[in-house]
Amino acid sequence: METDVLSCEGIYKNIHRKPIIKGISFNIKQGEILGFIGPNGAGKTTTIKLIIGLQKLSKGTIKINGFNVEDNFEKAIEKVGTIVENPDLYMYLSGYDNLKLVSNLYKGITKSRIDEVVKLVGLENRIKDKVSKYSLGMRQRLGIAQAILHKPNLLILDEPTNGLDPEGMKQVRELIAKLAKEEKMAVMISSHNLAEIENVCNKICILQNGEIVEQSNLEDIKKEVSKGEYVVEVDNPQKVKEILNCEIQGEKALIKATRDEIPEIISKLVKNNIRLYSVTENISSLEEAFLKKTGGNKIE
């Protein structure tokens, strides 16, 4: 039985009478990783702040584990771990003390749980150092450790890869995938860059100007963007055109075919003494699909 860990229904938020969030609804079930995508200023961070009670809703309901965030905040937030904007850390304390402060706020977080989490995020060698000496990537990882210390079943991360180098991004992505799998959390990740998180998400929500413009499973989007085209890289594209009657793009040939036809086409080309370097499916990236949906990076 899958229940909604987080459900948002028709939420609105006005700031200085200007509508920022215009009635969005979505939900996350256990084990799901939701990618919350949108250009800067679309309202991603505001939505997250509404969910975790940092800002008050203008209209709508948000329930976490069945508890209404507005009416029953303490219960609702109990099993939520978050990082909003930047990891919130006390720079003058050591990484360990930062975790200790969090552990003091919950019942039953043992010392071994802290050690376990430290190991999980890979900070065991530097955990006694002051946070002010940490690199951005280390702070991000400590922030995640802080967010998961109390074993939440909903993890909400706002732009967790922001400001990280490719290596750092990869580490964070791997960590999130690992957490979702090992700790069985529902995860919500916001990002303005789909490519960064498309590998870890299994559900996508695209937000623009405070409205959800697309909400679907990643598999569905992937099918949607598949065009049934294959690119063949050969030494003599002209000859391929003669054999298969296809289009030519520079040094490459474009073949319209289904997946099942590909092996036959390859053997045909080989028999015709064509030197074949590679065959790849020509799909538009999620990024392209995303841009198509949102109509560029415009902010109202």
Applying CB under 8 A, the residues found at the interface with another protein are 15, 45-46, 49, 52-56, 73-75, 77-78, 80, 82, 84-86, 88-93, 97, 100-102, 104-106, 146
CB of 293 within 8 A of CB of 207? no
The gap from C-alpha 71 to its chain's centroid, in whole angstroms, comes to: 29
Nearer to another protein, 65 or 237 (CB): 65
The residue with tokens 């053997």 is 267
Contact 226, 241 (CB under 8 A): no
Contact (CB, 8 A) for 142 and 131? yes
Identify which of residues 89 and 177 has a Cβ nearer to another protein in the complex. Answer: 89
Rounded CA-CA distance 42/19 in Å is 11
Between 44 and 126, CB nearer to another protein: 44
**Cβ proximity to another protein, 80 vs 240, nearer residue:** 80
Task: Report the C-alpha gap between 283 and 226 in whole angstroms.
Answer: 5
User: Residue 78 Cβ, how far from another protein at the closest point, in Å?
Assistant: 4
Q: To the nearest whole angstrom, how small is the minimum distance from the Cβ of residue 52 to another protein? A: 5
Shortest distance in whole angstroms from residue 157 CB to another protein? 12
Nearer to another protein, 140 or 240 (CB): 140
Euclidean distance between CA atoms 134 and 8, whole angstroms: 36
Distance of CA 144 to the CA centre of its chain: 14
Name the DSSP letter for residue 237: H
Q: CB of residue 226 vs another protein: minimum separation in angstroms?
A: 37
What's the min distance (Å) between Cβ of 201 and another protein? 23
